[in-house]
Structure 1
Amino acid sequence: MDRVHHLESLCQMLPGSAVSAAVYLPLVQPHGVFLLPRNEALVQETQAKLQEVFNRLEFSNDTCSLRMLLLSEVVADRALASLVPINALRNAALLAIRTPLAAMIDVDLAISDSLKSILADPNKVQAMQQAATSFWVLPAWESESHLKQQDAQNTVLSAIKGDKQRLAMLWQSRHLRMFSEDVFPQGHNATDYRRWLSAEQPYAVRYARGYEPWGITTRERYMVMPYDIRFRGCFRDKVTQVASLAYINTSFAAIPDAWLVHQPHKLSAAASIAFGHTGKRSNRVEALQQVVFYRGINTTKFMLHKAHSLVTSDDAMGAMAAGRYQPIVGLQFRSCRDSLPWF
């Protein structure tokens, strides 16, 4: 719910486009058939807030066409409630898509004005649809961490409203950087940002392990390789899914005239611990840092989560190398995929 304002902003950046969004609501209580009264009230309160957002967007003439899904999960452990089941949410949102193309774009990303022009051009959209095995990479940027909040927001606005010459200037002046350039450069290095800045035509990108771009491909491509729901929190969820697209011989190509820019926001509890930003301790951070005794050692629930993510990713990569990988999607996803009329 703390990212819903980003969803509203994203919808306003994509007038006329279809947007499918999944909102997550964890409900902490001992497992049982019925919700506790406090959780019943929380569900109703959340539904009302989301209805307000939906109505505001629906009654506007210049926003996206929104499908909003509210997904709740009853969990007995507060640490588990702090780890968003990100891939299960992505799959749920995917099921609500009825357009031939789909772009997995995290809600905290801003869209360049140029992308809106591409999506409004039937010829360009048709060309992307016809390249059925292609993944069209949208290079992602973010403001530099040393900037104050207002300067960072101004940088984002300048980047999405400007052209590539503006992007190059912001990068050179250390206002803007390649996404995760400081902590995980292999996630986007393959795009070759310097080449992209001068490119006038799409060009092929060679997949490399660790690559995790955002981009556009056919909905059918995502249905062949949806997201593995064993991932929660913030480790290797997207890396593994992009690897699975490469596994089914998806070709990657950089779009030369569209891009994304990350909008600054408060980190999730898991990301706060991962990046060492736990100065202001929250209940969620404390739940993840709870010490537990596991297989003969004292560790934390966060470290167990991280280990689970890394082992799960390694297991998936090994299965791909052996030619036998199938993402774990769960009964709910399979049931919906097999029964929804638009599939």
Structure 2
Amino acid sequence: MESSRAWLEPVLTVILTPVKGQQQRLEIVLGWDSGDAAQLYGSSLLSSPCFGEQPKRYLDHEALVSQVRKVEEENQLLRLQLIQSQAQEGTDSDQQVSSFVKDQDVLGDKRSNRTGCPKQRVVQKCELIHVAIVCAGYNASRDVVTLVKSILFHRKNPLHFHLITDLVAQQILRTLFQSWMVPSVHSEVSWIPNKHYSGIYGLMKLTLTKALPSNLSKVIVLDTDITFATDIAELWAVLGKFSDKQMIGLVENQSDWYLGNLWKNHKPWPALGRGFNTVIKQSPTLVYQLPCFWNVQLSDHTRSEQCYTEVSDLKVIHWNSPKKLRVKNKHVEFFRNLYLTFLEYDGNLLRRELFGCANLPSLSSGQLQQALEELDEDDPCYDFRRQSLIQHRVHLFFLQYEFPALTDAADVTLVAQLSMDRLQMLEAICKHWIGPISLALYMSDAEAQQFLRYAQASEVLSSRRNVAYHIVYKEGQFYPVNFLRNIALKNAQTPYVFLTDIDFLPMYGLYDYLRTSILQLELPQRKAALIVPAFETLHYRLTFPKSKAELLSMLDMGSLYTFRYHVWPQGHAPTDYAKWRTATVPYHVEWQPHFEPYVVVRRDCPLYDQRFVGFGWNKVSHVMELDVQEYEFLVLPNAFIIHMPHAPSFEISKFRLSSSYRECLETLREEFHQDLSRKYGAAALKYLTAERNL
């Protein structure tokens, strides 16, 4: 049995403190591994092969090429020293790093004699590195994940992130880093409008000194559209070489944008020369200028190819072009592959400890670790129990979502969950349901990017702004169906939710019909669950009925059936389809064992029980808890949904083929009954009695 400790160790601690204004600061402390590409207070902070000297303000091309060649020679010598050291000493990875640092010190002295570069400051093994990132909006919240992955991949030091966010990114990143098991978020900064083409994001950097903690002496500041190709500790070392007057380390802007001669009537934002993206060029003594291979800007109007000769010397790649991966550069294939590697890299693999450094476990991680340790590995249902304890990474609102400014008392959101094999249902559901939708998608990092491309290319999906997509990243061997449902349910924004499954198409006009029914039945004043009767078809091509009359006709002709009547009639028989055929007003039905209808309830209804994973009893247990909380069950006479045919899921196949699977499901069901009795007392006794009488 593999150790459970590695995946459970927190990487980040997230602490959130609301402040005045719309802008927030998310402060994320990384406890185990880190790597980072950076800027220092407002512009790209990039380290130099000569950390101790103040470079000239303007380096011509020939001088820069010469300097890069010298660095290449020095890098080759460093690599040779490292290989020799490893071969001679046969040390472990930590000792190898230590040996490498020592070699740097020795070679640094040699370089001083040959190049005039003083010895580089060594970053201590467990020294905490501070990084600040401005991140606002939905797109930036996706971009920052790729940046953080590249940092974590290379890191060898504890890392502390300070994220300057707006309210949208605050909610997304707080959940993302908490579920990623990363530590600490703090917030503070005011929202200031401006007219710069970069919008609020450029100006937000100017507030960093006020937004960051007053006791923070140094920090690396990053854009979200960069990728690290090295350990951020190399960049952190530069700060120790600043003179008393130098306050900021920068690479001069490589773009010709500010020169104003790219096209006719080109009038850019005013700047001095190519600029540092800040006004500090007026005070050059404050600036520690750094080589541009720490900030290789990939746009069509840059001199980036002139500042390096080999891609192996690059430290930070900056995707600062609107065309992103289609920029013109002789090494663009290398840049693209590096970026795509981290874009689709499994973030779960980055939950690794920094051995030898003090851990910073969060409360939730400690509780999870204890729960895991209490599991009995000899328990036949160990895998089921372990799955329910997994802390899945969650990226809320993966695409842009327009929150309802004013929701009426009867507004309702369709809530469902899906995996990659049900993606084809999204367009059809959006055509049938015009109201808000909240979906939890269970995907790997790579699949999430496939979904992003699919949604952006779809005319139907790209035109909708009231569909919230929440990515839950894959982990474990079972489909966490009820965890997914809870993610979608908790992030709905309307007073009511329609709890359904992704393979059902709602009747046309159901959204408006449900809103009308909620008001007519006075649901705000009563505790009720409105049942939407479920039907199914075996035909992949179905002329969808436009009314109840058409549906009944198709039912009589055999092209439609009541849902699961031939394999699981207990699930929906209490809906009383015979009565529904002639009903014109809502009618009451009573709970019966195994009842699992699709219902409309208040958003604050009980959550689904997450012990049920895969197939079986996931909806039944939820409806049972609605009943024990004394919800009325009202069947709507003019509402319906139709299940569309599809290949059997992997989970139902396991249920059918594995006797141990079915036995464990029975064990979990018995434990659920016992927990229900402890929670609700005598009111839950009828469920035990009903089970025994079956």
Query: Match of 1:69?
Result: 470
Q: Does 1:3 align with 2:359?
A: no
1:141 corresponds to 2:535: yes
Within 5 Å, which residues of 2 pair with 1:130-279?
Answer: 130-144=524-538, 152-155=539-542, 157-158=543-544, 161-221=545-605, 225-274=606-655
Which residue pairs with 1:308 in the alignment?
664
The separation in 2 between residues aligned to 1:21 and 1:323, in whole angstroms, is 30
Rounded to whole Å, the distance in 1 between the matches of 2:577 and 2:481 is 27
Secondary structure of 2:425's counterpart equals: helix
1:132 and 1:217 in contact (8 A); partners too:
no
Secondary structure of the residue aligned to 1:310 is: helix
Equivalent residue, structure 2, for 1:40: none
Deviation digits for residues 123-155 of structure 1 (CA, Å, limit 9, x no counterpart): 4443454254100000000124xxxxxxx1344
Q: Tell me, yes or no, if structure 1 residue 12 matches structure 2 residue 431.
A: yes
483, 497, 516: which one pairs with 1:88?
483
Query: Percent of aligned pairs with the same residue?
Result: 24
**Residue correspondence of structure 1 range 316-331 to structure 2 within 5 A:** 316-324=672-680
For residues 180 and 58 of structure 1, the distance between their equivalents in structure 2, rounded to whole angstroms, comes to 30
Give yes or no for the alignment of 1:106 onto 2:106: no
SS of residue matched to 2:613 = coil
Other structure's SS at 1:245 match: helix
- Are 2:483 and 2:610, in contact at CA under 8 Å, matched by a contact in 1? yes
Higher strand residue share: 1
CA displacement 1:236-281 (0-9 Å, x = unmatched): 1111111011011011000111111001111112323545xxxxxx
Structure 2 gap ranges (5+): 1-419, 682-694
Find the residue that maps to 1:231 and give its secondary structure. Answer: coil
Structure number with the bigger relative contact order (C-alpha 8 A, sep ≥ 6) is 1
Cross-structure match for 1:281: none
The one-letter code matched in structure 2 to 1:143 is T
| Native 8 Å contact 2:533 2:635 kept in 1 | yes
Rate the CA distance shift 1:303–1:52 in 2: closer, same or farther, 3 A: same
Note if contact 1:135-1:216 (Cα within 8 Å) is conserved in structure 2. Answer: yes
Q: TM-score, normalised by structure 1?
A: 0.70
Structure 2 Cα separation of the partners of residues 46 and 10 of structure 1:
21
Query: What is the aligned partner in structure 1 of residue 513 from structure 2?
Result: 118
Distance 1:189 1:316, change over 3 A: same
Matched-pair contact (CA < 8 Å) for 1:100–1:218: yes
How far apart in 1 are the matches of 2:525 and 2:665? 33
Partner secondary structure for residue 74 of structure 1: coil
SS across alignment from 1:141:
strand
Q: Secondary structure at the match of 2:642?
A: strand
Alignment: residue pair count: 259
- C-alpha displacement of 1:323: 4.6
Contact 2:654 2:661 in 1 (8 A): no
Structure 1 position 322, deviation (Å): 4.9
1:170-216 Cα deviation digits (max 9, x unpaired): 22222211111011111111110011011010011111111100010
Q: Does the 8 Å contact 1:114/1:257 carry over to 2?
A: no
2 CA distance for matches of 1:185 and 1:58? 35
Q: Which entry has the higher C-alpha Rg, 1 or 2?
A: 2
RMSD: 2.2
Task: Tell me if structure 2 keeps the 8 A contact 1:8–1:53.
Answer: no
Unaligned segments of structure 1, at least 5 residues: 27-42, 145-151, 276-288, 290-301, 326-343
Q: Is the CA contact 1:114–1:258 (under 8 Å) kept in the aligned structure 2? A: no
The answer as to whether partners of 2:499 and 2:600 remain within 8 angstroms in 1 is: yes
